[in-house]
Amino acid sequence: MKCRKLLGGDCIKRERSILHGLYIQAGFAIAGTLLFLLLLLWAADFKTAVLLLVYYVLFLSLLWVSVRNTRRMHRVILQKAESEKKAVEAELEQKRQQLLALENQINPHFLYNTLDTFRGLALENGDRHLSDMIEALSVMFKYSVNYDVEMVSINAELNYLSKYIQLQQLRFPDRFEYQEVINCTPEQLLLEMCPRFVLQPLVENAIRHGLRNVRRGGCITVSLEIREGDFYIDVEDNGCGMSQQQVASINQRFRKPEQPEDGNRMAEGQEDTKVRKGQGGIGLGNVNKRIKMFCGEEYGLKVISTPEVGTQIVVCLPLYKEAREE
């Protein structure tokens, strides 16, 4: 509020100075016109009258230039004031969001303590299964509410994913096997960065949609490797797969995430929509947009799929600078 008052005071002062300038210019115009008329009446001959007329036109021209410059200055000041106003409003909004984030941290701490209490009660009752589920949920929850972090290490994403897999396999013990194929060093897993919530939504999508008809014998594989100067993550399932038409439609949207959807795209089938949006989670389109936002337009997701064979989501991320130079 104080910033707005200061900004408003500056604007008023500038407006007043410009108005004073316009009033002075108007006064000069009136006085000059009256003087011209008086001199014209006293002119001794035609030559003198013409000379006075030339001086008067010159006077009006200079006055018009002055008025035009004043108006131009007025527009510049108004634009600057509007820009400053937007900057102040953006700063106030940022502070409001920071305050909101601080307020939201109160509830997570309460929930952490509650989850720890439930976990302790489960251990006291000898229910290791329930205790493990609560512990995994607590770790995921702490990772989810860390609002200040936008980019995390691949290692942190894998740790978060492992807790999600643990919950799913506790819930569905025989539905699928999970395996990781890591073709890079532990140091690279700590160095390579990506936006938060990249891996888990891809695996959730594979479970919900790729393995939706699988009750036993499913398989999800996450592979990590450096190739072609970039860092690649492949999430593959052995589920129902998709048609080539659906794959082409999804990949086109991944290449142009800002392009609006039209009726034809929506009519291509519910499977396409589900793969992109997920149900109750972060959709693949969201993951793709955030990768492009933080890493660049040349990075993102790509889908490879064969009906009744499975689907592979390829994630392309930029390689850590020092690793690229090596």
**For the chain, domain boundaries:** 2-104, 173-325
Query: DSSP letters along 124-188, please?
Result: HTT-HHHHHHHHHHHHHHHHHT-TT--EEEHHHHHHHHHHHHHHHHHHSTTTEEEEEEEES-HHH
Mean pLDDT, rounded, for 12-25:
61
- pLDDT tier at 173 (50, 70, 90 boundaries)? confident
Q: In sequence order, what are the beta bridge partners of 181?
A: 223
Tell me how far apart the alpha carbons of residues 322 and 320 are, in angstroms, rounded to a whole number.
6
What are the backbone dihedrals phi and psi of residue 143, each rounded to the nearest 5 degrees, phi first?
A: -65, -35
Long-range own/partner contacts, residues 181-187 (CB < 8 A, 24 or more apart): 181/221, 181/222, 181/223, 181/224, 182/223, 182/224, 182/225, 183/223, 183/224, 183/225, 183/226, 184/224, 184/225, 184/226, 184/231, 186/155
Query: DSSP letters along 93-142, please?
Result: HHHHHHHHHHHHTHHHHHHHHHHHHHHHHHHHTT-HHHHHHHHHHHHHHH
pLDDT for residue 8 is more than 80: no
- pLDDT tier at 54 (50, 70, 90 boundaries)? low
Q: What is residue 237's three-state secondary structure?
A: strand
Residue in 92, 99, 73 with CA at minimum distance from that of residue 7: 92
Q: In sequence order, what are the beta bridge partners of 177?
A: 219
Cα distances (angstroms) measured from residue 189 to each of 89, 162, 180, 182, 313: 40, 15, 13, 9, 19
pLDDT in tens, 73-99: 777 777 877 888 888 888 887 777 666
- Count CA atoms within 13 Å of residue 326 on its CB side: 8
pLDDT for residue 133 is more than 70: yes
Tell me how far apart the alpha carbons of residues 225 and 227 are, in angstroms, rounded to a whole number.
6
- pLDDT tier at 25 (50, 70, 90 boundaries)? low
Structural domain 173-325, CATH architecture: 2-Layer Sandwich (3.30)
N-to-C CA span, the chain: 53
The rounded percent of the chain whose pLDDT value lies above 90 is: 37
Tokens (6 digits) for 131? 């205790």
Provide the pLDDT for residue 36.
Answer: 59
- 288 CB contacts (<8 Å, ≥6 apart)? 254, 257, 300, 301
